Structure 1
Amino acid sequence: MLELKNITFKVDNLDGKGEITILDNVSFKIEQGKILIITGPNGGGKSTLAKIIMGIEKPTSGQILFDGKDVTNLSITERARLGIGYAFQQPPRFKGVTVKKLLNLASGNKLNDTACCEYLTNVGLCSKEYLKRDVDASLSGGELKRIEIASLMARNPKLAIYDEPEAGIDLWSFSMLVDSFQKFKENKDQTVVIISHQEKIIDLADELMIIADGKVQNKGTKEEIMPMIQGKSTSCGCPIKEVVLTNER
């Protein structure tokens, strides 16, 4: 369904001398209907990888295949048309666009209030209070995050990418979000990639992948990978388990 082949991403060093490697020869596959959880230490390249899949960043080298089609050089818009969706770690604001209009634009259909409310309820928002509100600075970061996740759910792409969906979300909303991801796992009608440190989200994984120092350290089932985390260290000397797993929600 999605395959990355030898993806490398480099940026110029700030001092103008040489390059910094953010991702180093990353390769993996994910099958249709599976949930892949990507986790690992901060700064390991996880969010950059998600942006490369969506087309926000272009790899220095390597190839991306989606449903057998080479999408490496396609734009964000072209990838979206093929069925790839992305929820930003820090969502954008849209002055003059109401929450209801955003959900309608995302879905491509004219949703009634009941349908819009259902998507908002899935992410822990008191839905009717939000439909007429603008997606702007009047909303908190946590509210924006939940609304963007709801809009991606409304769009229902073939491949949905969520970058730390738990960030800025309260305990009750986080529980609702986990329940929504659980439905994806049960229905298997959508392929989902989630970047997360949260143990409750990691528990939903069909496959778990550890990225650290720009490389895939391990990939396999949750049962295969979790025992391997114990005792492994990053280049900074910090145990991976300590910088990966949190269960504070």
Structure 2
Amino acid sequence: MLTLENLTFDVNDDEGGKGIIKDLNLTIGDGKFVVITGPNGGGKSTTAKLIMGIEKPTSGRILFDGQDITDMNITDRANLGISFAFQQPVRFKGVQVLDLIRLAAKKKLSVTDACQYLSEVGLCAKDYINREVNASLSGGELKRIEIASVLARASKLSVFDEPEAGIDLWSFQNLIQVFERMRKNTNGSILIISHQERILNIADEIVVIADGKIVNHGSRDEIMPQIMGTASAVDACSKFYNQD
């Protein structure tokens, strides 16, 4: 479904060019639940932004269903079937929650159907369906509404950048259930940027990115013991989380 070929992303700063993503190669297959993890500043979120077209690679290619989308903009990628949930959700003054979910679904959903998506992310639909997606909503509320819109879109590939950021414990527990249902019921693939153990535990595959490169990639059962609390991995885990 999605292939990143020799992907590189450089930025210029006061000291000259700096490599953020370095010759990265990754393939995400159909129907897979993949989590990208790694130390802060390692390039996880940048990789997600390159996939969505928010950033443009310095070199390399991005293929989606065999089509080269490297030079496509965000809208074209969305129309092909890629959805993106930001780490910090966007506010839309003057747009109601119902309108946002209908826009995501690309059809005129009934109020009942739209409310169902809100209920799936733990929001009381009658309290939110007619509210504006603006500063009156908390970060956690916005996060859940954004995830509801991604659910409504039912994309071939849904990308979530640290979906747990800014939400409380109850919402996080509900979020895990949402992802578990997506994993069972979706016909597309799911890519999540996260370092939360409970999200890693429901992945099919885990990709570890550090210093702009993939340093490990495999099944959950292969990768989890190397980055979490097994006795044999304590030292490696300490080094992993202190590379910044």
TM over 0.5: same fold? yes
- In the other structure, the counterpart of 2:236 is 232
List per-residue Cα deviations over 1:157-200 (Å, max 9, x = no partner).
10000001111112222222211211222235120000111111
- Residue pairs, 1:110-121, within 5 angstroms: 110-121=108-119
CA distance in 1, matches of 2:181, 2:90: 26
- In the other structure, the counterpart of 1:11 is 11
- Residue pairs, 1:36-185, within 5 angstroms: 36-185=34-183
CA distance in 2, matches of 1:141, 1:173: 12
Where does structure 2 lack aligned partners over 5 or more consecutive residues?
228-232
CA distance in 1, matches of 2:119, 2:241: 33
CA distance in 1, matches of 2:4, 2:223: 20
List per-residue Cα deviations over 1:120-166 (Å, max 9, x = no partner).
11112111100110000111111111111111111111000000111
List per-residue Cα deviations over 1:19-48 (Å, max 9, x = no partner).
111111110101100000001111111000
Identical-pair percentage:
57
- Residue pairs, 1:209-224, within 5 angstroms: 209-224=207-222
- In the other structure, the counterpart of 1:247 is none
Counterpart of 1:32 in structure 2: which amino acid?
D
Does structure 1 retain, via aligned residues, the 8 Å contact 2:154–2:186?
no
Does structure 2 retain, via aligned residues, the 8 Å contact 1:44–1:214?
yes
Counterpart of 1:107 in structure 2: which amino acid?
A
Does structure 1 retain, via aligned residues, the 8 Å contact 2:121–2:175?
yes
SS in 2 for 1:239: helix
Structure 1 segments, 4+ long, off by >3 Å, are: none
CA distance in 2, matches of 1:33, 1:64: 18
Does structure 1 retain, via aligned residues, the 8 Å contact 2:96–2:133?
yes
Aligned length: 237
Where does structure 1 lack aligned partners over 5 or more consecutive residues?
244-249
TM superposition shift of 1:221: 0.2
- CA 188–121 in structure 1, closer or farther in 2 if over 3 Å, else same: closer
- Say what the alpha-carbon RMSD is for the aligned residues: 1.4
Counterpart of 1:143 in structure 2: which amino acid?
E
Does structure 2 retain, via aligned residues, the 8 Å contact 1:123–1:174?
no
Give the structure-1-normalised TM-score.
0.91
CA distance in 2, matches of 1:75, 1:216: 25
Counterpart of 2:111 in structure 1: which amino acid?
D
List per-residue Cα deviations over 1:84-108 (Å, max 9, x = no partner).
1100001111010000010011101
CA distance in 2, matches of 1:85, 1:111: 18
List per-residue Cα deviations over 1:41-81 (Å, max 9, x = no partner).
11111000000000000000111110000111111111111
